[in-house]
Amino acid sequence: MIGWGSWANTQKLAGRTNWPFPLYYWDYAIGVLLFSVLFMFTLGSSGTGGMPAIANLRAASGASIFAAILSGIFFNVANILLVVAIDIAGMSVAFPVGIGLALVIGTIASYTQEPKGNPVILFAGVALVVVAMIMSALAYRRLPRSASANWTKGLLFAVIAGCLMGFFYPQLLRSLSPGFNSQPIMPGLLTPYTALFFFSLGLLLSNFVVNTIFMRATGQTYGAYFAGTAKLHLLGILGGAIWMLAFSLNIIASGVAGPAISYALGQGATLIAAIWGVVIWKEFSAAPRGTGRSIGAMFAGYILGLTLIGLATL
């Protein structure tokens, strides 16, 4: 949750030097892949349980590999569409619709796939997080915004992004061996470490299509990317590594807490991102009086919702 809510700070820092998001996103995708390789050949290749990464790669079936790669493609398309939706309609429309939809779909689909935890407490927590996202939208709506914002078009992109982002997590679970933390790895299925490697491979490979289209739409070129400084490229790689560290820990935790609870807690990243935005980046400094009530309700909803999601494991 902390990692997913913090990686975008590297993009904020890069944006201060007018480094466009599509160019930053290439380094982000590279950072995701590099960290997955690092994890696969360290933690994924040591210990007495499970199966070493190389042995698992050799034993993996084509269906399991495809499922993990497809998960990475789903996430990548969703992530970029969400950015497009925010650019078109603003944060107040795109973020609560996209991430809220992803939270509900992802939690329900993951729980259906592996029902673990108290469903009443879990979904009550999810409902409170959705309410918190709505409060966040109300707060952002009070900020000065561009008159050219196209809410209908942005809403469409946000809905598509939310659906894809909701299904990428259950899609990755299909490639994982059940009970990977306590049982032998089933023939043909993957350990978390090899599954995450194929996920990141799908993300990077799909970037050649998806982000190239995004670049052309925003007038960016590959020449501009290669002209970027080492510091700018390192910021993007660091952002990808932070995101992938968080995702790796989230997947590993799902073996104990259950995928629905693990995913729902991870989506509490919006709370962490909101704290960064309010406290560090002063995003609401231009907001009119009274906005603080929405922000306070947002934080209360997140805290209560995440507490309930955590209690669902008991």
pLDDT at position 314 is 79
Calculate the average pLDDT of the chain: 92
pLDDT at 227 over 80: yes
pLDDT at 31 over 70: yes
pLDDT at position 244 is 98
Residue 100 — pLDDT band, cuts 50, 70, 90?
Answer: confident
Q: Give mean pLDDT, residues 66-86.
A: 94
pLDDT at 141 over 90: no
Cβ(271)–Cβ(29) below 8 Å: no
User: CB under 8 Å to 291, separation ≥6 — which residues?
Assistant: 139, 142, 284
Higher pLDDT, 143 or 228: 228
> Which residues sit opposite 176 in a β-bridge?
190
User: What is the spatial distance between Cα 202 and Cα 165, in angstroms, rounded to a whole number?
Assistant: 14
Cβ(72)–Cβ(201) below 8 Å: yes
pLDDT at position 33 is 98
From 20, 77, 41, 7, select the one nearest 237 (Cα to Cα). 7
pLDDT at position 97 is 83
Query: Residue 285, class by beta-carbon neighbours within 10 Å (0-12 exposed, 13-18 middle, 19+ buried)?
Result: exposed
pLDDT at 229 over 90: yes
Cβ(291)–Cβ(23) below 8 Å: no
pLDDT tens per residue across span 148-203: 557 788 889 989 999 999 999 999 999 999 999 889 999 999 999 999 999 999 99
Cβ(121)–Cβ(257) below 8 Å: no
End-to-end CA distance of the chain: 20
Q: Give mean pLDDT, residues 234-254.
A: 96
User: What is the spatial distance between Cα 199 and Cα 33, in angstroms, rounded to a whole number?
Assistant: 9
Q: Extract the tokens encoding 159.
A: 């809905």
pLDDT at position 154 is 82
User: What is the spatial distance between Cα 283 and Cα 278, in angstroms, rounded to a whole number?
Assistant: 6
Residue 285 — pLDDT band, cuts 50, 70, 90?
Answer: confident
pLDDT at 146 over 60: no
Cβ(126)–Cβ(166) below 8 Å: no
pLDDT at position 58 is 97
Secondary structure tally for the chain: helices H, strands E: 14, 0
pLDDT at 223 over 90: yes
pLDDT tens per residue across span 108-134: 999 999 999 999 999 999 999 999 988
Higher pLDDT, 286 or 304: 304
How much is the pTM?
Answer: 0.92
pLDDT at position 241 is 97
Write out the H or E segment, with its range, that includes residue 55: helix 53-59
pLDDT at 205 over 70: yes
Task: Give whichever of 44-48, 134-138, 154-158 has the largest mean pLDDT.
Answer: 44-48
Tell me what percent of the residues of the chain surpass a pLDDT of 90: 72
